[in-house]
């Protein structure tokens, strides 16, 4: 989708600091980090929200989670811990409508989240 910010990052039209890429997934640093490490992981396929997932997306979402594990290991936070978040819809604070998993680490996280 040419009018989607994250599709534009996938196709290189908009630059991003990419930290991981495989056949199905791209991971890049968040422009406005909320923790010392803040990486966004996205499927290359355009899927707007969790609500739009189909059963055929099972594999790509599995790949997304596995990629998060690899990025956490590569960034040295696997042992200290990290948080993963997928915001879905307005009340959750989703602002980019291409599904993405936030990987946050490097500081103590609080619960419940705000």
Interface residue with Zn ion among 98, 99, 104, 105 (CB under 5 A) is 98
Q: 4 is in the binding site of which of Zn ion, ligand 5GP, none (Cβ under 5 to 8 A by kind)?
A: Zn ion
Residue 93 CB, nearest distance to Zn ion (Å)?
18
Q: Residue 49, interface with ligand 5GP (CB under 6 A)? A: no
Backbone angles phi, psi at 106, to 5 degrees: 100, 0
CA–CA distance, 80 with 31 (Å, rounded to integer): 23
Strand 18-21: give its sheet, edge to edge: 18-21, 25-29, 37-43, 101-105, 82-85
Binding site for ligand 5GP (CB under 6 A): 5, 16, 28-32, 40, 87, 93-96
**Catalytic center residues:** 100
């Amino acid at each position: 989708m040419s009018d989607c910010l994250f599709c534009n990052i996938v196709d290189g039209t908009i630059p991003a600091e990419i930290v991981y890429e495989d056949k199905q997934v791209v991971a890049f640093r968040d422009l406005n980090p909320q923790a010392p490490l803040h990486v966004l992981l996205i499927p290359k396929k355009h899927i707007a929200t969790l609500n739009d997932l189909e059963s055929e997306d099972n594999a790509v979402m599995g790949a997304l989670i596995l990629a998060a594990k690899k990025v956490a290991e590569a960034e040295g936070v696997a042992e200290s811990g990290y948080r993963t978040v997928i915001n879905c819809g307005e009340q959750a604070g989703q602002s980019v409508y291409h599904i993405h998993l936030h990987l946050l680490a490097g500081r103590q996280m609080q619960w419940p989240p705000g």
